[in-house]
Amino acid sequence: MATEVVDESGAPVRGRTGYLVCTKPSPSMTRGIWNDPERYVETYWSRFPGMWYHGDWASVDADGHWFLHGRADESMNVAGRKVGPAEVEEAMLQHRGVAEAAVIGVPDELKGEAIVGFAVPKPGIALDAAAIGATVVEVLGPPFRPREILVVHELPKTQSGKIVRRLLRQRYLGEALGDLSTVANPAALE
């Protein structure tokens, strides 16, 4: 596949996170949406003219190694800097006591968005939120220290094991959760 990592303007970038695009169609690529060709073009081909974009972040390092960083639509804008939840979660997981991690962006008057983290401890470990925050600062820098880190027993997940960040955000902000039929463990939201 002909792939590239591009910035907001569609220019190729290296050494930093950008948008993963395909610069040419591949044999197995979908050619449309049934009975809705306009939606197909709008969804996949309009963001970067001539490039197919499906919503993922990636980067390519100096050695040419590619890294996926999660969904761009879940990105947070913290003090003018974009960061994906996967980057902050990966930093939280570097703390020796964290088994699982999830982060969300919440409104913040000063920064635009603030990061709130959720950490599941490894068995027999008592987690210290401040120590997890210090680990994030060590890995990503001070702007990305979560405003708050909540220690939880489990994270809400779909049947396929994906963390449902949308529900974590709604729960944190006190919003109605709505339909939970796709959540494998709704008790995680109590």
Tokens of 180: 């939970």
- 83, 89, 63: which is closest to 17 by C-alpha? 83
How confident is the model at residue 20, as a pLDDT?
A: 95
DSSP at 104: E
Spell out the alpha helix ranges (H) of 118-172: 129-140, 165-172
Structural domains of the chain, with CATH: 3-72 (2.30.38.10), 75-189 (3.30.300.30)
71-120 per-position pLDDT tens digit: 887 788 888 787 889 889 999 999 999 999 999 999 999 888 999 999 99
Confidence of residue 131 (pLDDT cuts 50, 70, 90): very high
Give the separation between CA 182 and CA 190, rounded to whole angstroms. Answer: 16
Of 112 and 177, the one with more pLDDT:
177
CA angle 69, 120, 158 (to 5 degrees): 60
Count CB-CB contacts under 10 A for residue 5: 22
Residues 151, 177: Cα–Cα separation, whole Å: 20
How far apart are the C-alpha atoms of 128 and 84, rounded to whole Å?
23
Angle formed at CA 57 by CA 79 and CA 152, multiple of 5 degrees: 70
Q: What is the pLDDT of residues 136-165, one digit of tens each?
A: 999 999 999 999 999 999 999 999 999 999
